[in-house]
Structure 1
Amino acid sequence: MIRALVYVDPDLSSSIALRYTCQLAGMFEMEIQAIHAHEPEAHAHTGWARRTWEKIQLEESKKEIEQLLTAEKQFCPVSIQPIVVAGDPKKEIQEHLEKGGYDLFVEGIRRPLSTKNLAKKLQSSLYQTAPCPILLVQNLTPLNKVLLVIRERPTTKALLSMFSNLFKGAKWSLDAVIPEFLAQSVGDDEAQEVLKECGYEVENIHRIKTISEIEKLSDYGLVAIGVNRGKKDKGPLVEFVQYLPSPILFCWA
């Protein structure tokens, strides 16, 4: 069973993330847990008055999240009561991921993605230390085909290992892509060799030379990519991810 933690706000991007996660739940046995962290607004009062004000804010947040989940029930029956807490969202997510033993973290994001915000997200403490893959959902796409991004051998092997562990026994329709503009891109023969070593067979291997060719990759329901932690994995990689229209699964190398 895949245990997924899905971050929700009362907005459209969270609705899309929930619906997409439930598409996955239709293919795999999954337990979906929604979480929302309300960061208390600044308030002039202290002591009892402040605590009362923060309690009111938290109750309002709970109502909004419950309304969201009720509205999404026909698309995504989240059976577990949502976790709604007061605090910094990144810290609360990190704490629950570490303590809860989740296999996947999912969050929605609004398009268009800016290079600056995406680079900041990839370098955030949450993305740098999350104990599981992170699925970033920007569009609700049908899960008809998966694209694996082939980078240098160690990063690609880490991606394929994490992908296999998450989606055990999955019968995906798989393609691969080699973005030549990323550092240390591999040749077709080496890509086939790495895929074979990890037990993967793909139908097609695409090779793209420039960012502008990303539009050729618009038909995939999921794109999985390995990301090097502890390094400023940005520049061409961030631009590549920025222009992908599909949900993106980040696996850590």
Structure 2
Amino acid sequence: MINALVAIDLDLGSSLAIRYAESISDLIDMTVQSVHVVVPDKSGPEPGMGWVRKTWETAMKNTDREDIERFLELENAVRPRFFKPKILLGDRQEELLHELQAGDYDLFIEGALPTFNPADFNALVNSRLYKLMPCPAAMIVKNLVTPQKAALLLDDDIDYSPLVSSFLSVLNKPVMDLDVYYCRFGKGSDVEVVSQAPDSPLFAKAVDKLKEAGWEPKACREITGSPKEISEALREYSLAASALKHSSNKKNPMAETLGRVLSSVLLCWG
């Protein structure tokens, strides 16, 4: 049973996340907890201590709770899977980190509308929330396309073993078609796709581990090009999965590729 936390606000990205989580939960055995963080308005003074502050916090939570519950009711016309959200008060990243740690979640889900600026995605995955995220994977939802075909992306900077382990911890049974790519990033003008697996023992071990778990990749390919070219070559996929390092602060081509793809992203930690 996958234990997932879905972060929601009153916006389109949250609508995408809720509907996508519901479609994923039809494919795998998954429980879903929604959470909303009330961020205090810093423009005005906050009450001090004791019952005055507690009353103020309760009033703020209750106001947002009513709005969020109405929002969820509209998003769940058929199945009330996401009712009774947790309402937290404080800094959004800190409160989400605390909830992820306390709830022992396997997957974090949030919506992020597609952007033509890869720097937006890079800022997201380099935020404090993602750097310190304790769960093995995060799903960044960009659209409502039902996940039917996935691309697992590998390159030289990725430790294949934890990537595949994290991937299997979420998608522990074959519920969609899967292709595995070894990415060679360059600055050429054209993308090149070789319809055969690269000559790499590590790549072969990653594929073998997938097969042992019941995933039989439809294709294993090598793809060469810039992040922009590679992302455009992956348009047929409804899900792109790869890994980034918690410790990395620099821009890297895999992060740019994941930021540019139009599909939703399953981000594992390498």
TM-score by length of 2: 0.83
State the alpha-carbon separation in 2 of the partners of residues 111 and 154 from structure 1.
Answer: 24
What letter corresponds to residue 217 of structure 1 in structure 2?
A: L
Which of the residues 208, 220, 223 maps onto 2:224? 208
Aligned to 1:230: 247
2:119 is the counterpart of 1:116: yes
State the alpha-carbon separation in 2 of the partners of residues 113 and 105 from structure 1.
Answer: 24
State the alpha-carbon separation in 2 of the partners of residues 39 and 212 from structure 1.
Answer: 39
Contact 1:221-1:246 within 8 A present in 2 as well = yes
Contact 1:227-1:233 within 8 A present in 2 as well = no
1:155–1:113 CA distance, 2 compared to 1 (3 A): farther
Aligned to 1:26: 26
2:147 is the counterpart of 1:130: no
**Per-residue deviation at 1:85?**
1.4
Instruction: Give the 3-state SS of the residue equivalent to 2:172 in structure 1.
Output: coil
Contact 2:183-2:224 within 8 A present in 1 as well = yes
2:71 is the counterpart of 1:68: yes
2:94 is the counterpart of 1:91: yes
Instruction: Give the 3-state SS of the residue equivalent to 1:180 in structure 2.
Output: strand
What letter corresponds to residue 122 of structure 1 in structure 2?
A: V
What letter corresponds to residue 143 of structure 2 in structure 1?
A: N
Count of residue pairs brought into register by the alignment: 249
**Per-residue deviation at 1:15?**
0.7
**Per-residue deviation at 1:124?**
1.9
CA RMSD of aligned residues (A): 2.3
Aligned to 1:248: 265
Cα offsets for 1:123-143 (capped at 9, x unmatched): 222212212211111111111
State the alpha-carbon separation in 2 of the partners of residues 171 and 16 from structure 1.
Answer: 20
TM-score by length of 1: 0.88
Cα offsets for 1:166-213 (capped at 9, x unmatched): 22223431012232117xxxx712265133331333212251312224
1:45–1:93 CA distance, 2 compared to 1 (3 A): closer
State the alpha-carbon separation in 2 of the partners of residues 223 and 76 from structure 1.
Answer: 27
Contact 1:155-1:227 within 8 A present in 2 as well = no
What letter corresponds to residue 127 of structure 1 in structure 2?
A: Y
Aligned to 1:179: 183
What letter corresponds to residue 207 of structure 2 in structure 1?
A: K
Instruction: Give the 3-state SS of the residue equivalent to 1:198 in structure 2.
Output: helix
Aligned to 1:78: 81
Aligned to 1:103: 106
Instruction: Give the 3-state SS of the residue equivalent to 2:5 in structure 1.
Output: strand
Which of the residues 147, 159, 162 maps onto 1:158? 162
Which of the residues 209, 214, 218 maps onto 1:198? 209
Contact 2:160-2:203 within 8 A present in 1 as well = no
Q: Percent identity?
A: 28
Contact 2:5-2:107 within 8 A present in 1 as well = yes
Instruction: Give the 3-state SS of the residue equivalent to 1:102 in structure 2.
Output: coil
**Per-residue deviation at 1:159?**
1.0
What letter corresponds to residue 18 of structure 2 in structure 1?
A: L
State the alpha-carbon separation in 2 of the partners of residues 235 and 192 from structure 1.
Answer: 20
